[in-house]
Amino acid sequence: MAFPQNSLRAFLRYAKRGLFTAIQSSGRVTIVVGNESADLDSLTSSVLYSYVRSLAPPSGAFTPLYIPLLNIRAADIRLRPEFEAVFRHANIDASHLVTLEDLPEANESPLDPKDVTFVLVDHNRLQGELSKKYAARVRGIVDHHEDEGAFCSETSPEPRIIEKCGSCTSLVVRTIISSWESIAGGSSFASGASHAQGDSSVNDESMTRTWNAQIAKMALASILIDTANLTAEDKVEEADVEAVKYLESKIKLSPQDAAQWDRDKFYKSIDYAKRNIDAMDFEDILRKGYKQWTEKGLNLGVSSVVKPLDFLIKKLGGDLSEDKQQLFVSSIGDFMATRRLTIFAIMTTFTSKSGEFQRELYVQALSSGYAAAHVFAEQAKVELRIEDHDVASCKELGSVKPLDQGPWYAPLPPLCGPYSTSDDFHSKVDHVNRRKVWLQRDVSKSRKQVAPLMRKAMREAA
């Protein structure tokens, strides 16, 4: 049976209205949500899965409408300049997305857990505030991170797919490809999506192909970013290659897009937008690619940053003087205090002056996290091939001198005064932070590998 189709813009508008209606009428909803960092892969995975599933819901689906949820507040979309670049290609804008503030607050009409089903994409364990109420309502997973062993029961009709891949969106493409192909492009969503916000359905094959091309370009963006345009040999899997091939075929079927399609140019434009963080302030840069976990009562935060550490330090004053480096450390301490973190890590990526891809790893810990940090450092020497970051021997990197030269267990000077914002959480002894910065020689290991290693160290040190 052929299923009707409409633009992505019309679908997102209809999905947002569907969520509001369900909240007001205590109706059922199926929510497809990415991880808390809400990066491009989480965005495109959730939107693509929801769009195709809503056009062709499987037999036994909890609801016929799947609602993509971006796992951040709407105000934080501005921290992701690559989103805006992708929106232009998909003919959507930020206002069309469902974000966390679209869910009811505690004092508003709630979404009863029995009326909600979650499908997780780009992670496999629900985290943060959503997990407190809805952890037991996960009924599907498509992910490419380490399997945390959650939700192992039968998830049918939704999948439980957790496997290595450059991009989660590639796994979503593989999952929904047969459904997408079954959609012949009819007149409208049976549920009325064609009338959303004035978007009329067009019974025209060329328009349908234009819509498909817009959706394909959106999905391609995250796959190409996550695999460096399929050149990252340590990340690219067959599913990535096949997904790119399939999505490009959708683009080439569109009369409007086929003649001007240039994958390399497209990738470079999205990559440039992602790295264009010069106008952001220090804290916004850390928040942009931030994720958090709890192990044995200790909180871990990790920020991914697309610039070297010296860029971050200069954000606080324009030079690399000792005073500015200490300001950097105390600013990290404030960031940790606000989020009640025991250990915080910054993972930077950049290209050296000689054109070599590089990674830095900065870790700062309170005294209650010293043991875990030391365990991690010892394991990371083998797993990540970390080396003390000494600019004297690595001048070509153009990066910051280490903030300390000793091992984790060596005493370091305290920061400038206590954290007045966190006296209820950090003991006085925890006002003394320790920190270390390394070069990560195994540049194939991203946060997908580093964060689980840190979490494992926290469990072992407890």
CA dist 355 → 157, 253, 358, 445, 446 (Å): 47, 37, 9, 19, 19
Q: What is the mean pLDDT of residues 355-374?
A: 92
SS3 content of the chain, % helix, strand, coil (to 5): 45, 15, 40
| Amino acid in the structure at residue 292 | Q
Q: Write the DSSP symbol of residue 60.
A: T
Q: What is the mean pLDDT of residues 118-122?
A: 97
pLDDT at residue 434 in the model: 82
pLDDT at residue 104 in the model: 87
Distance CA 456, CA 260 (A): 48
Contact yes or no for 69/145 (Cβ under 8 A) = no
Q: What is the pLDDT of residues 27-37, one digit of tens each?
A: 999 999 999 99
CA angle 458, 327, 273 (to 5 degrees): 80
Can you read off the two tokens belonging to residue 413?
């000077």
Q: What is the pLDDT of residues 123-162, one digit of tens each?
A: 999 988 898 889 999 999 999 999 988 877 778 899 999 9
Q: What is the mean pLDDT of residues 432-446?
A: 87
DSSP characters for 11-33?
HHHHHHHHHHHHHHHT--EEEEE
pLDDT at residue 3 in the model: 40
Q: What is the pLDDT of residues 302-359, one digit of tens each?
A: 999 999 988 998 888 766 666 777 788 889 999 999 999 999 999 999 988 888 899 9
State the Cα torsion 58-63-67-72 to the nearest 10°. -110
pLDDT at residue 187 in the model: 36
pLDDT at residue 428 in the model: 35
365: left (phi over 0), alpha (psi -120 to 50) or beta: beta
Can you read off the two tokens belonging to residue 329?
């450390």
pLDDT at residue 4 in the model: 61
Of 24-33, 39-48, 99-108, 385-394, least confident by mean pLDDT is: 385-394
Distance CA 366, CA 361 (A): 17
Distance CA 9, CA 102 (A): 17
pTM for the full predicted model: 0.84
Closest by CA position to 247, among listed 90, 67, 448: 90
pLDDT at residue 155 in the model: 83
Can you read off the two tokens belonging to residue 348?
């930077």
Closest by CA position to 365, among listed 430, 440, 447: 430
pLDDT at residue 393 in the model: 36
Cβ neighbours for 444, distance < 8 A, ≥ 6 positions apart: 234, 235
288, pLDDT greater than 70: yes
Average pLDDT value for the chain:
85
> Where in 52-208 does DSSP place strands (E)?
66-70, 98-99, 116-121, 138-143, 160-162
DSSP characters for 94-113?
GGGSEEGGGSPPTTS----G
- Tracing tokens 């998909």 back to the chain, one arrives at 90
Q: What is the pLDDT of residues 44-81, one digit of tens each?
A: 999 999 999 999 999 999 999 999 999 999 999 999 99
Can you read off the two tokens belonging to residue 435?
């920190």
In sign, the C-alpha dihedral spanning 51, 56, 61, 63 is positive
123: helix, strand or coil = coil
Give the rounded percent of residues in the chain with a pLDDT score beyond 90. Answer: 68
Of 1-10, 218-227, 434-443, least confident by mean pLDDT is: 1-10
375, pLDDT greater than 70: yes
Query: In the sheet where 434-440 sits, what is the strand order?
Result: 290-295, 298-305, 343-351, 357-365, 434-440, 386-388
Q: What is the pLDDT of residues 166-203, one digit of tens each?
A: 999 999 999 999 999 988 544 334 343 443 434 444 44
pLDDT at residue 182 in the model: 87
pLDDT at residue 386 in the model: 93
Cβ neighbours for 373, distance < 8 A, ≥ 6 positions apart: 343, 363, 365, 408, 434, 436, 457
CA dist 133 → 38, 66, 137, 233 (Å): 20, 19, 9, 40
Distance CA 200, CA 196 (A): 8
Distance CA 365, CA 356 (A): 30
Cβ of 186: how many Cβ atoms within 10 Å? 18
Cβ of 103: how many Cβ atoms within 10 Å? 20
pLDDT category at 402 given cuts 50, 70, 90 is very low
392, pLDDT greater than 90: no
